[in-house]
Amino acid sequence: MTNAKTRIDETVNANDVVLYMKGTKEMPQCGFSSRVAGVLNYMGVNYVDVNVLADDEIRQGIKDYSDWPTIPQLYVKGEFVGGCDIITEMTLSGELDTLFEQNGVSYDKDAADKIREANA
């Protein structure tokens, strides 16, 4: 277990934005992972994707690490942000923009606005 925790620690602290997901950003393996990856991809966010299906230790380890039962999980600057529902809400409310701005994460503001317009 320590191994998984250490690996997760290193990944979330070495990268500005990390998405623990089922599948990859190019080929998500579940609808929730696909939705979050889709938002990040569309907004042009540079992020690291970790496929939990490829590693059982990480798949369980990430749930213990965040004390959050579901995948996907988004981390920004080492902090757990949330899963699919939270990220969706934050995208639509503009909170995700603010979080990225506060943490110096570049993203496409026009794309973020388009997501909100499409879901208004």
Is 84 labeled as ligand-binding? no
- Using CA atoms of 55, 58, 59, 61 in order, give the dihedral in degrees to the nearest 10: 150
Backbone phi and psi for residue 15, each to the nearest 5 degrees, phi listed first: -130, 140
Residue with the two structure tokens 């496929």: 51
One-letter amino acid for residue 61 of the chain: G
CA separation for the pair 53, 70 (Å, rounded): 13
Structure tokens at 7: 């690996």
State the amino acid at position 73 in one-letter form.
Q
CA separation for the pair 19, 40 (Å, rounded): 9
Q: Which residue positions form the known binding site?
A: 30
Q: Which residue positions form the known binding site for [2Fe-2S] cluster?
A: 30
